Structure 1
Amino acid sequence: MSSSKAVEDVEAEVDKYTLSAFIISHTKDKEMTIMMNAMQLACKLIARAVRKAGVANLYGLHGSANASGDDVKKLDVLSNDIMINALRNSGMCALLVSEEEEKPIIIPEELRGKYCLAFDPLDGSSNIDCNVSTGTIFSVFERKSTGEPTVDDILRPGTDMVAAGYCMYGSATDFVVTFGNGVHRFTLDDSVGEFIHFGEMKFPAKNKTIYSCNEGNFTLWDDKIQKATEMFKAGPKPYSARYVGSMVSDVHRTILYGGVFYYPADKKSTKGKLRVLYEGLPMALLTEQAGGLANTGMFKGKLGRIMEVIPETIHDRCPIIMGCERDVEKVLAFYKEG
């Protein structure tokens, strides 16, 4: 390789945004930058733990259940500890909500900042033993109270969020984030230990015909969701079915390729299965910012944006229908006709 070509390659690498540089340039908020640096550090540590799970004996159940009643894996516990420690020690957080914690965590006054975060430390962990992609999902609110933080600082609609994102641990480690000005994707470059800007994520101009759902619950769904699912499977050109079972993976694919992902309410889970604060709201903001739609379907007597749902408790749930406009509208049409 010539020296000039080597210099060009180096300059090209230097020109790439790191996640920290991107946050500074797009938010002009030093506190947000510090907090997000703690978030990305936590994600790097979780990514390392996921990669070493087999050799470090981290597969299998921990022997307990989390606040949502799900069986807890060893990696769930480790990921939760990593997230809490990193965010608490950043000095930028006031209150933390984790899927693995029954109650919100109030940050001590000497370490307290202005942000309230909700997160699922390791989404899809039920699949970890078979090496399926997992991820971390988070939503960020700016506290509105003074004095001691309360749950009211975070029991708010998604329209109040100042940032949201996820980190996916798969064949690559991708960090996807929005500050309300588009969705941006970063990929971890292990050679330098930095998340490098990959580009903006948007639904494609020509969306693929993919539907993604847990069809094992079909008999428990209302007739509108059943009809929509049958519609996707019918005709001379039926949709392809793609379902991973990790929300991070399913939503990531849906934004990149198009189609629709849904986890509706059913006879067993009348409010749905996915949690509002750290699954529904952050993924809804990302979906909308990428050019898609995120709706609850029929919920509490009406159709509505997920972003407008106000959680009643920190582990509250809601139904989810999200994806490209074409396919979300096809599902909602069955409710509107009814």
Structure 2
Amino acid sequence: MTMPCRTTLTQFLIEERRHFPHASGDFNSLILNVALACKAIARQVALGALGACRDNAGGALNVQGETQQPMDVIGNQAFIDFSEWSGNLAGMASEEMATPYQIPDCHPRGKYLLVFDPLDGSSNIDVNVAVGSIFSVLRATREETAGEAAVTEQDFLQPGTEQVAAGYAVYGPATMLVLTVGNGVNGFTLDPNLGEFMLTHPALTVPAATSEFAINASNSRFWEGPVKRYVDECLAGRSGVRGKDFNMRWIASLVAEAHRILMRGGVFLYPCDHKNPDLRWRLRLLYEANPIGFIIEQAGGRASTGRQPVLKVQPSALHQRVGLVFGSREEVDRIEGYHHDVQMADLPSPLFHEHGLFRASA
């Protein structure tokens, strides 16, 4: 039987590089190292309780104040081990590390910065739900950073429009790597027989319209007025102002949500809420919102904080959080429009009024 000829990730990157005759090859090497880290993580995730979870790794609080799962620790180390040695990185930053990671003196330094969430949705491993890794590549903008000087937090505080590449790996029934290098979005499936990522989903696009949305409805009493308005209109279905029925989804794994939207459309909302006055936004700008936003917009969709394009936000801190709305363009435009409606933005929902039924506690 003749096997179908498919393009490997390596072949794909070589073809892309031909558009840039003066490229050194460092970028391709970096992406392939990240892909190797994702393969190692996929292997550990697939073992479930037979693998990393049998050890005592994890359990500590990370810089986000969240309890680290064993695979958080293992995934973080995989990104470091497979990326630090090759001479194409000036430094790294991770959701799991309080400060930037310095390339050891025994390794050469390069001109790129790597930021990553080593295992998004790790709390879902126990229930065997798809999880993933997210990464973003930036240029080291200071010459001294790309040489001998240590990287600082400031080096990473670049808006999402400055990303050179972004991607995610999703560890589900199949392991997939979804990648943009600024020229559209392509999906690669890991062939377990060859150990190679093969191009299976070229030129992914997000449909402009959808009838599916994803949001954590348990937080509805804490939402701002524009979000509540949008969800209420969707739930009203064809008898309401939208004139069509909507389906609602929620996986609690950003990678899985983004992947579903890339495969069949939809809109995802993790908006500002008042459940915790000290934590009104939940998703990390550098590690989650920017790379996912870059991917979605390269696929023809939109990504927003609810009020502005997320890729235009100027970061102010390494672990800054933002609201995030992304997916089908028409729905994101509508949600942004509701936030820009002055009357709606200034008028609190009766449920949250000073004397309202669901007023958040001080």
Q: Is the 8 A contact 2:210 2:267 kept in 1?
A: no
Counterpart in the other structure of 2:345: none
**2:40 pairs with 37, 40, 45, which one?**
45
The answer to whether 1:33 aligns with 2:28 is yes
Counterpart in the other structure of 2:127: 130
The answer to whether 1:241 aligns with 2:236 is no
Counterparts of 2:64 and 2:29 in 1: how far apart (Å)? 30
Deviation at 1:61, TM superposition (A): 7.6
Amino acid at match of 2:290: L
Q: Is the 8 A contact 1:20 1:37 kept in 2?
A: yes
SS at match of 1:127: helix
Q: Is the 8 A contact 1:38 1:86 kept in 2?
A: yes
Counterparts of 1:292 and 1:85 in 2: how far apart (Å)? 34
Q: Is the 8 A contact 2:45 2:51 kept in 1?
A: no
Unaligned runs of 5+ in 2: 239-243, 343-362
5 Å-filtered alignment, 1:66-85, equals 66-85=62-81
SS at match of 1:203: coil
Which shifted more, 71-80 or 325-334? 325-334
Counterpart in the other structure of 1:97: 93
The sequence identity of aligned pairs, in percent, is 37
Q: Is the 8 A contact 1:311 1:317 kept in 2?
A: no
**1:218 pairs with 202, 217, 220, which one?**
220
RMSD: 1.6
Counterpart in the other structure of 2:348: none
SS at match of 2:213: strand
Q: Is the 8 A contact 2:99 2:153 kept in 1?
A: no
Amino acid at match of 2:313: V
Counterparts of 1:323 and 1:36 in 2: how far apart (Å)? 25
5 Å-filtered alignment, 1:194-233, equals 194-198=196-200, 199-204=202-207, 207-233=209-235
Q: Is the 8 A contact 1:61 1:71 kept in 2?
A: no
Counterpart in the other structure of 1:3: none
SS at match of 2:111: strand
Q: How big is each residue's C-alpha offset from its partner over 1:257-306, in whole Å with a ceiling of 9 and x where there is no partner?
A: 11210101111255510000010000110110000111111xxxxx2110
Deviation at 1:56, TM superposition (A): 2.3
- TM-score (norm: length of structure 2): 0.85
Counterpart in the other structure of 1:163: 165
Counterpart in the other structure of 2:328: 324
Deviation at 1:92, TM superposition (A): 1.2
Deviation at 1:150, TM superposition (A): 2.4
Deviation at 1:330, TM superposition (A): 2.1
Counterparts of 2:66 and 2:57 in 1: how far apart (Å)? 11
Q: How big is each residue's C-alpha offset from its partner over 1:59-95, in whole Å with a ceiling of 9 and x where there is no partner?
A: 6982211111111101111111111111102221111
Q: Is the 8 A contact 2:301 2:329 kept in 1?
A: yes
Deviation at 1:171, TM superposition (A): 0.7
Counterpart in the other structure of 1:288: 297
